[in-house]
Amino acid sequence: MMKMIGEFDDILLESLKIISITYIISQMDTQAQAKPETISREQREKNVANLPVDKKGRMIIRNLPFDLNESHLRKLFAPFGAIKDVRVPLNPATNQNKGFGFVEFDQKNTSAKAIKALNNSLYKGRKIFVDFSVS
């Protein structure tokens, strides 16, 4: 009789392990299927207004042609205002840019105008994406 109770406990324990693992996997699937939160352009600009002053004017430009350099970005963004800084990171192995760059204006509100005008536009045959940089 004692042996049967012990076997029953073992079976019950194994069942609980299987149920626990199944639950964990189902939770992981639920989290993986969760859609990322999207915010409107207006909300993003409001959020940017609350950033520290030194971070407001910096933008990231993605999907750049790989032969592009800093002078190309200066020419592209110059019509919007005085540029404070331009950076195009290079891949040390190929000495080509990594497909993105950063531009910062002297006047912080100029960035919003440039983003509105250039985001999703074509530049040298590529659709570029311009947005506020997080750092």
pLDDT at 107: 82
Class of residue 57 by CB neighbours under 10 A (exposed 0-12, middle 13-18, buried 19+): buried
CA 29 to chain centre: 23
pLDDT at 7 over 90: no
The whole-number average pLDDT for the span 28-44 is: 59
Annotated domain spans of the chain:
1-34, 41-132
pLDDT at 1 over 60: no
Specify the CATH superfamily of domain 41-132: RRM (RNA recognition motif) domain (3.30.70.330)
pLDDT at 27: 64
Q: Mean pLDDT across the chain, nearest whole number? A: 78
pLDDT at 81 over 60: yes
Q: Can you tell me the distance from the alpha carbon of 66 to that of 134, in angstroms, rounded to the nearest whole number? A: 23
